[in-house]
């Protein structure tokens, strides 16, 4: 039987989504995972309590009375892989760089009023250990801190990156495939659609337990499982539900399940007159057999989740109040004047498990007279149709951009301009759902400085969303990692950058 080398962790995973490991640019799952093991941020969250904020490169922080100025004190002793100490200037430059480059994840930082014209003044190091951020307007401290814990908040070694700069790219071309961080690992090599190799950072504050991590691109889950059973791999990351069931019977293997910050839902377009009726929206929510679909189709890969916040987020609701009630749903259809039902198109991704779930939903809704015309497509086609507001009902999956309730609350609730050429085209806008009062209260929750009161506001918004919104929240994604029994210390979290290798060992 083949065995992976001692001191080397070999992971089988689909990594075709990886395009860059520059934390100011990377915005896909594989890139975020690499960044999370190579870079550190000012603050982070522990995986055993992801709603808690803790210092990483920052040992402390203070907020001004007006809620606009945040002052961070950098921890002593942190060093980059080069051996150079991490300074407040590195942190300031990294955040400035993200704003100036303005790549996809920059909005996470930009939403605090930073622009390329003011960022040098508003984000600055006042000495080697002191970093000051001056925001455009007061904000909830937890909101800013959770945003800084995202990948885009990673601190890059300024000297290493600027030495490799081409023109005014701030080192972007080099950092796409190289790293300059202070995390437990450094990138040794990346070959697209082939492999990623990380080596232990010799200057890490805490040395990783395993000196090298190799992630091999293995597209076929069956090949992943076979390699795991043979000892070619230590961890397999993309096994399907039936394979996971098989793994549970194999004493040589261990299953690790983690809820991810990704939710599946139905979007009901409010431009469709029938779907704009509150009774119809509630009838659809009551007609679906959530638990039956979960048990029968996705028992190991999704969990029932009926709120717009994924489990693990501050303020997330854990209860699932909707159960299939066909008689109650039919009564609501009659009350809406639609006892005879109606026809509607149904957009969904033509891949497992989305297609199987869509067919189950079609059968559920048929029982209350809603006749769905199935419109399968690839994921990009489904998303494109919802972005253009061309759908009737669409089955969609949404992943959170950062670990703060606002990331999903803004997407599902805020729509301040319902015109077709609106600037902020949120999920609420895509569904043509325009309730100014709910938008205003969602914005107020984002600014609320008291953490407990802020969480309570999000709890209320979730309950109201269940009752009135055009979103039928279905499931939360579960990521399954299967390891050989000799592997211990796996530490996974709800976001991709929280999949941490540093504590993993193998006998």
- pLDDT exceeds cutoff 90 at 444: yes
Q: Which residue from 237, 184, 231 is spatially nearest to 211, judged by alpha carbons?
A: 184
Domain range 259-479, its CATH number among 3.10.105.10, 2.130.10.10, 2.40.110.10, 3.90.1170.50: 3.10.105.10
Q: Mean pLDDT throughout 284-290? A: 98
Q: Which residue from 32, 37, 21, 86 is spatially nearest to 58, judged by alpha carbons?
A: 86
Q: What is the share, in percent, of the chain residues with pLDDT greater than 90? A: 95
Can you give the length of the chain in residues?
A: 507
Please give the model's pTM, rounded to 2 decimal places: 0.91
Q: Mean pLDDT throughout 364-370? A: 98
Joined tokens for residue 385: 């149709």
Fold match between domain 1-252+485-507 and domain 259-479: no
pLDDT tier at 478, thresholds 50, 70, 90: very high
pLDDT tier at 1, thresholds 50, 70, 90: very low
The interaxial angle of helices 406-413 and 451-468, nearest 10 deg, is: 30
- pLDDT exceeds cutoff 50 at 264: yes
Instruction: Say how many C-beta atoms besides its own lie within 10 A of residue 111's C-beta.
Output: 17
pLDDT tier at 223, thresholds 50, 70, 90: very high
Q: With H, G, I as helix, E, B as strand and everything else as coil, classify residue 473.
A: strand
Q: What is the share, in percent, of the chain residues with pLDDT greater than 70? A: 100
Domain range 1-252+485-507, its CATH number among 3.40.50.720, 3.40.190.10, 3.40.50.10210, 3.40.50.12780: 3.40.190.10
Q: What share of the chain is helix, strand, coil (3-state, %, to 5)?
A: 35, 25, 45
Domain segments of the chain as ranges? 1-252+485-507, 259-479
Ordered alpha helix ranges (H), 75-157: 88-101, 107-110, 119-122, 141-148
List phi, psi (to 5°) of 186: -130, 150
Q: Mean pLDDT throughout 345-361? A: 95
Q: Mean pLDDT throughout 233-259? A: 92
pLDDT of residue 2: 57
pLDDT of residue 240: 87
């Amino acid at each position: 039987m083949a065995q992976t080398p001692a001191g080397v962790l070999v992971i089988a995973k689909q990594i075709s989504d990886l395009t860059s490991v520059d934390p100011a640019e990377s915005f896909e799952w594989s890139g975020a995972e690499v960044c999370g093991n190579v870079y550190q941020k000012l603050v982070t969250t522990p995986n055993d309590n992801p709603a808690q904020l803790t210092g990483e490169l920052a040992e402390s922080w203070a907020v001004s009375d007006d809620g606009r100025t945040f002052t961070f004190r950098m921890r002593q002793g942190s060093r980059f892989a080069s051996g150079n100490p991490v300074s407040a200037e590195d942190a300031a430059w990294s955040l400035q760089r993200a704003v100036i480059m303005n790549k996809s994840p920059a909005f996470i930082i930009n939403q605090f009023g930073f622009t390329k014209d003011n960022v040098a003044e508003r984000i600055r190091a006042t000495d080697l250990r002191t970093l000051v951020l001056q925001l455009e307007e007061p904000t909830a401290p937890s909101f800013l801190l959770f945003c800084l814990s995202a990948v885009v908040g990673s601190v890059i070694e300024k000297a290493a990156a600027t030495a490799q700069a081409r023109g005014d790219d701030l080192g972007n071309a080099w950092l796409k495939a190289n790293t300059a961080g202070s995390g437990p690992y450094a990138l040794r090599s990346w070959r697209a659609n082939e492999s990623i190799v990380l080596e232990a950072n010799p200057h890490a504050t805490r040395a990783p337990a395993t000196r090298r991590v190799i992630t091999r691109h293995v597209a076929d889950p069956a090949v992943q499982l076979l390699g795991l059973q043979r000892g070619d791999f230590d961890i397999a990351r993309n096994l399907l539900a039936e394979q996971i069931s098989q793994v549970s019977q194999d004493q040589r293997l261990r299953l690790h399940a983690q809820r991810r910050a990704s939710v599946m839902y139905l979007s009901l377009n409010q431009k469709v007159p029938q779907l704009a009726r509150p009774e119809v929206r509630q009838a659809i929510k009551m007609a679906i057999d959530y638990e039956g679909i979960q048990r029968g189709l996705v028992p190991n890969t999704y969990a029932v989740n009926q709120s717009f916040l994924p489990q693990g987020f501050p303020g997330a609701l854990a209860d699932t109040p909707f159960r299939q009630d066909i008689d109650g749903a039919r009564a609501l259809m009659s009350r809406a004047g639609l006892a005879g039902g109606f026809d509607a198109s149904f957009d969904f991704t033509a891949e497992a498990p989305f297609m199987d779930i869509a067919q189950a939903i079609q059968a559920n809704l048929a029982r209350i007279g809603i006749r769905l015309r199935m419109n399968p497509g690839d994921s990009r086609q489904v998303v494109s149709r919802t972005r253009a507001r061309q759908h009737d009902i669409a089955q969609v999956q949404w992943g959170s951009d950062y670990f703060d309730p606002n990331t999903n609350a803004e997407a599902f609730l805020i729509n301040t301009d319902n015109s077709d050429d609106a600037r902020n085209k949120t999920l609420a806008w895509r569904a043509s759902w325009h309730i100014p009062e709910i938008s205003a209260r969602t914005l107020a929750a984002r600014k609320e400085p008291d953490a407990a009161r802020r969480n309570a506001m999000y709890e209320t918004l979730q309950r109201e969303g269940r009752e009135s919104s055009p979103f039928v929240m279905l499931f939360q994604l579960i990521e399954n990692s299967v390891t050989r029994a000799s592997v211990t210390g796996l530490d996974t979290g709800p976001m991709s950058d929280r999949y941490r290798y540093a504590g993993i060992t193998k006998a």
